[in-house]
Structure 1
Amino acid sequence: MTGNIASRLETGTPFLKDLIADINSGQIKVPQFQRQFVWKEEQALKLLDSISSNYPVGSLLLWRTKNSLAVERNIGSFKLPETDDMSPTDYVLDGQQRLTVIYSALGAAEGKDGFDAVYDLNEQSFLEAPGEFNQTQFPLRIIYNTTKLLNFRSGLVSYPNAEELQRRLDGLIDVITNYRIPVVTLKELTVEEVCPIFERINSSGTRLSTYDLMVAATWTENFDLNDEAQKIAASLKPKGFDDIDGNTVLKCLSAIKHKGIKKEQVLSLRNLSKEEMDDLVEIAKSALLKTVDLLKTDFKIYSWDFLPYEAIAIILSYIYSKRKSLSLEDVRRVRQWFWLSSFSERYRGASESFVSQDLEAIDAFVVNGEEPRKSFGSIPSTSSFKNLSFRSNNSRSRALIIVLALKSPKNITNGAIIDPEIALSNYNKKQFHHIYPRAHLKRIKAPGEHNSLANFCMLAASENNSVSDDHPNEYLPKLARELGENAEAVFESNFLPSPSTTDYSSLNYEEFLEARSELLLDAISRLAKGFSI
């Protein structure tokens, strides 16, 4: 954090009662973030137990600003009060769920909706408030109501262990009413200054993002970024791509508008009017529809899971925002960039600045048809390719799967055509098979990478167990014989060396990797030049 920001940072340790009062007055509000994680009752009860034990429960991070953010009223079963707008307001950036539990359990009025808890003085434990509770279960919502608190305490005298129950109640009240939570308040920082701080917050296990902040910073009451992102997702649903990430949508919008996805470019979208945003969203929707059509038809990609990099979707959406359709030459250029980028791991850990530079290069190369201004990478050599390990979350592995699908593979077990849409709609390990089984390779202590990219083929899940960990020098010749005159076509469809010129009965693993790597790289080289297989 820079010195300038540090000078606008305020720390304090308020009592819970003070925080509750600030929520009731509208001084503290919870921004409307689209969160994937919502606390359950069990987590809320554990928080109350930690407070009653005087354990630290973490600090709160507030942002004091005159910016008007959309605010959250309900988080799951937890309710927050309706309040008038105030300026400036303290918006909760971190700790919103802890604070919501504290308010709902200790600050909300009796009978109001939301999480309600009691402390069982006999069991010495917190419980979600039952419909009817006995007189030894202390309702936490009256803890700051002196009259009701004293009446409850007096009612305990009718119990044989009244003195012990009152002692436990007094101890609970003493801890909770004197409990303090560290609070850090960022004062009058701009959205641009808050964003990098905001993105690093991860104390609850749910990573917040620029998209979350932009959702809260709505343009007008009639424009909700999250609603618009959901509309884009809904338009992609018939094509199976509706699980597009909100951050990806935001970057596509920035790419289309600014030809870049740098933080300041993304944040500057807030300066657009509702009408400008409406138009931009429509352009993005159309561009993304064309993007997924290209992914399905030209690359056999049927879900975001198999896209090597998010940057590819962003750049393709930019291309289609500039061109209503792509010519054969345009597609050839897209292929060059796609395959070189994927197999060279171009966007691995790439910054927004790097992707923005590539948007400029792609604009010249594809949109304007100019000669490439830069290299988009290179494909691996045979020696390096055979040592690359297959991992589902790796761009080269995903790219290899796409290459295999483009070949219209047939099951090596029976010659039946494999439906790539089924295999590539979502990642399923059963759709892919080690040609030289790992158990066998481990058993004979074979040298080389046992999980090599070159050791995988597509195989329908129903056929996967039929090979198991059989000896490849036995099962491969056997399959070739059983396939008969179809053997050449089936093996060729899987980039396997021809059974008529290869002695699979004696082919060792190193020899197999070398031969298959060359076949795969021949195809990849062709794709990287813009041609089809």
Structure 2
Amino acid sequence: MMVDVFSRPKKFLHQEWWTMKKNSAGRINTEVELISNLITGINKGEIKIPKFQRPFVWKDDQALNLLDSVANNYPVGSLLLWRTKEKLLVERNIGEFNLPATDDMEPTDYVLDGQQRLTVIYSCLGAKETDAGFAVVYDLEAEKFLRLPDSLKLCQFPLRKMFNTTQLLNFRAAIQTDPKGAVLQERLDTLIGAFSDYRLPVVTLKNLSVEEVCPIFERINSSGTKLSTYDLMVAATWNKDFDLNDEVDEIRQALEPKGFGDIDRETVLKCLSAVQLGTIKEQSLMSLRSLRKDEIKRLINTTKEALLRTVDLLSTEFKIYSWEFLSYEAIAVILCYVYARINHLSPNQVHLTRQWFWRAAFGERYKVGGENFVSNDLKNVYSFIIDGLGSAADFGKPPTAKEWLSIAFRSNVSRSRAYILALAARHPRNLTNGAYIDPAIALSAYNKKQFHHIYPRAHLRRIGEKTNDNLVINICMIAAAGNNFISDSDPKVYLTKCQADLAGKADDVFSTNLLPKPSEFDYSSANYNEFLNARAQLVSEFVDQLCEGNYGGM
């Protein structure tokens, strides 16, 4: 028997309900609807599935349990509809089969929550008996629901006959020929009565704006699917001549040859808003809907060109060859805003861009603050880079040598990403043979084989050092072959061997990796803490240089 698989704690639902009611007072209608009325609404085009909803994902047992719950008059949850004159991009099918073509209705009820349940109901009870897709029978002898078998027994009632009077009468007449006809007839009547009388609670949001519906969907949607602003923009701007997905894909395809084709669609939308409106605030994003087709086409082209110049700068100046190594999405959005207004940066403007970039990354400027903070920084950063207004110190300060001693390495954390880029800025050479490491390979995607703990974690565990084994300053960039060579070796052994093999080049090679020079530091006798203190000072000094816009040697 089915308990609502989408149920939530009562306290949580109560809080969500009153939040929604407070924000949308007077525009919420709650009623109960017969299953047959819902099916009629779908067939007439009055109820539609928006394109942003996820596809049908229920398994057979979930669908069969739903039908069993209806047959037993158990609650199966409510439907949430949005009644609006907005014309959204919609799915032309429910489940595995197409809906009949219908004229646009004024208004339309779009399904925001309960799509999976409604899909099962329509598929099993609303579709034609000859349609493809998920179909179910009720075995009157076994008294259970089954997926439609290849060959039917006389006692198996196809649910798609339920609301078709002629087919239902024909089935009723046929089972009378069965020796248990009277019992089967009684069970059939009970089944039909249960489905004919069953009413689903339906909550209808009336004439709310797209902006109002988005947070309500996120609170109420029991599937856990997050409705993004991008999803709503795609649905709300769509018409037969324009699909925002196609336009965004044009930008992504343009970035593909440069290795940035996997840019998030939300990021592209923010870039469009920054370029056009000078803000990425969510309530402002929606105003892009008011642009004419020719205006949005120009915006797409401008943003595409600005993003191309952005990724060129990221790769040439900061050795960023994929989005994985960009500390913050905000950096790309802000650079796109700058490049939409100026095609070329002077040497001094590039110098100022370096100062902002490194300070924002190492100072974790965009870790908190959200869209309002980034929106304000669009103009602040532009004024700093283009006009030289303000101070670089306004954008953050790098960690001190002491702070580096406690910063853990996490590949998805801004300071760790910035640290890797700082290593790349030193043009590192492989410790094992002195060959230059190609940052385009090492940084094209996060690859553990291109990085190594200088004091291997397994070695540190062997000597009882566990608390600080994964510090950022214990990480070094190294080619895959060198990685295998080091493995979990004692650094007193392998670093001394590297020093000997490199001979007179050892100081230069170690220095490119921000490691203490062997002529000044005895790797054969130093312990882990001595190494950390020495390296923290070197890293701190170099990062300070980066934050001043300088890439000089040490």
Please indicate, yes or no, whether the TM-score normalized by the shorter chain is above 0.5: yes
Q: Identify the residue that residue 243 of structure 2 maps to in structure 1.
A: 224
Residue of structure 1 aligned with 2:66, choices 26, 29, 50? 50
For 1:277, give the aligned amino acid.
I
Q: Identify the residue that residue 289 of structure 1 maps to in structure 2.
A: 308
Q: Identify the residue that residue 246 of structure 1 maps to in structure 2.
A: 265
Tell me if 1:400 matches 2:424: no
Output aligned runs, 1:127-526, within 5 Å: 129=148, 133-135=152-154, 137-152=156-171, 154-156=173-175, 173=192, 175-200=194-219, 203-218=222-237, 220-372=239-391, 375-446=394-465, 448-526=467-545
Q: Could you list the per-position Cα deviations for residues 189-244 of structure 1 after superposition, in whole angstroms to 9, with x for gaps in the alignment?
A: 12232233234455324321011111011165322111111111111111121112
Tell me if 1:38 matches 2:55: yes
CA distance in 2, matches of 1:63, 1:345: 40
Contact 1:253 1:281 in 2 (8 A): yes
Structure 1 residues 476 and 210, CA gap change in structure 2 (3 angstroms) = same
For 2:55, give the aligned amino acid.
V
CA distance in 1, matches of 2:262, 2:276: 23
Structure 1 residues 174 and 503, CA gap change in structure 2 (3 angstroms) = farther
CA distance in 2, matches of 1:200, 1:209: 12
Point out where structure 2 has 5 or more consecutive residues left out of the alignment: 1-18
Deviation at 1:116, TM superposition (A): 3.8
Output aligned runs, 1:60-71, within 5 Å: 60-71=79-90
Deviation at 1:57, TM superposition (A): 4.5
Structure 1 residues 447 and 100, CA gap change in structure 2 (3 angstroms) = closer
Contact 1:438 1:451 in 2 (8 A): yes
Deviation at 1:182, TM superposition (A): 3.1
SS at match of 1:280: helix
Contact 1:251 1:266 in 2 (8 A): yes
Q: TM-score, normalised by structure 1?
A: 0.91
Aligned length: 530
Structure 1 residues 432 and 118, CA gap change in structure 2 (3 angstroms) = farther
For 2:354, give the aligned amino acid.
R
Contact 2:29 2:204 in 1 (8 A): yes
Q: Which stretch of the first structure deviates more once superposed, 15-24 or 199-208?
A: 199-208
CA distance in 2, matches of 1:168, 1:462: 73
Contact 1:79 1:100 in 2 (8 A): no
For 1:191, give the aligned amino acid.
V
CA distance in 2, matches of 1:57, 1:381: 58
CA distance in 2, matches of 1:422, 1:133: 61
CA distance in 1, matches of 2:511, 2:141: 75
SS at match of 2:273: helix
Deviation at 1:425, TM superposition (A): 2.1
Contact 1:117 1:126 in 2 (8 A): yes
Q: Could you list the per-position Cα deviations for residues 384-409 of structure 1 after superposition, in whole angstroms to 9, with x for gaps in the alignment?
A: 22211111211111111211222222
Deviation at 1:493, TM superposition (A): 2.2
Deviation at 1:47, TM superposition (A): 3.0
SS at match of 1:13: strand
Structure 1 residues 169 and 249, CA gap change in structure 2 (3 angstroms) = farther
Tell me if 1:3 matches 2:22: yes
SS at match of 1:465: helix
CA distance in 1, matches of 2:422, 2:201: 54
Residue of structure 2 aligned with 1:26, choices 35, 42, 45? 45
Contact 1:122 1:136 in 2 (8 A): yes
For 1:96, give the aligned amino acid.
Q
Deviation at 1:500, TM superposition (A): 2.2
CA distance in 1, matches of 2:508, 2:493: 20
SS at match of 1:204: coil
Q: Identify the residue that residue 87 of structure 1 maps to in structure 2.
A: 106
Contact 2:260 2:323 in 1 (8 A): yes
CA distance in 2, matches of 1:400, 1:525: 12
For 2:66, give the aligned amino acid.
S
Tell me if 1:532 matches 2:532: no
Deviation at 1:164, TM superposition (A): 7.5
For 2:426, give the aligned amino acid.
K
For 1:496, give the aligned amino acid.
L
Point out where structure 1 has 5 or more consecutive residues left out of the alignment: none
CA distance in 1, matches of 2:201, 2:310: 48
For 1:438, give the aligned amino acid.
R
After superposition, the CA RMSD in angstroms is 2.8
Q: TM-score, normalised by structure 2?
A: 0.87
Structure 1 residues 420 and 149, CA gap change in structure 2 (3 angstroms) = farther
Structure 1 residues 92 and 496, CA gap change in structure 2 (3 angstroms) = same
CA distance in 2, matches of 1:16, 1:243: 43
Q: Which stretch of the first structure deviates more once superposed, 486-495 or 356-365?
A: 486-495
CA distance in 2, matches of 1:431, 1:348: 26
Deviation at 1:279, TM superposition (A): 0.7
For 2:327, give the aligned amino acid.
P
Contact 1:299 1:402 in 2 (8 A): yes
